[in-house]
Amino acid sequence: MTKTKAVEPSFEEALEKLENIVDAMEGGDVPLAELLAKFEEGTKLLQQCESRLKNAEIKIEQLKQQKDGKVSFVAFDTTESSD
C-alpha cells in the first residue's frame, strides 16, 4: 500500500477554513468534543498560514537585497519547523 502525503491547502484556502472555524466556535452551538477538534484543526491551519507568510517575507527580503539591481531567486527551505 502506498502512502501519500496530504496536500496542504493554499494560503487563501487555509485562511478561509480558519475563518469558518472561528465563526463556528464563536457561535456557541458547538458541542465540546467538536469544539476541541475544531480548535486543533484551527491551530494547524494557523501554523500553516504563519509559515507561508514567513516564507513570503523571506523571499521579499532576498529580492530587495540584490545589490546589482538584477533579480535572482534563492531557494530556501519551505518546510515547517517546530519551535
pTM of the model: 0.67
Residue 39 lies in a domain: yes
> How many domains does the structure of the chain reveal?
1
Please report, for the domain that includes residue 58, its CATH number.
1.10.287
Q: Which residues lie below 8 Å from residue 48, measured CB to CB, with a gap of 6+? A: 8, 9, 11, 14, 80
pLDDT at res. 83: 44
Residue 30 lies in a domain: yes
pLDDT at res. 10: 93
Task: List the domain range (segments joined by +) for residue 45.
Answer: 11-64
How does pLDDT run along the chain (83 residues), one tens digit per residue?
566 667 889 999 999 999 999 999 899 888 999 999 999 999 999 999 999 999 999 888 888 777 666 666 666 665 655 44
Residue 22 lies in a domain: yes
Residue 27 lies in a domain: yes
* CA 57/CA 76 separation, integer angstroms: 12
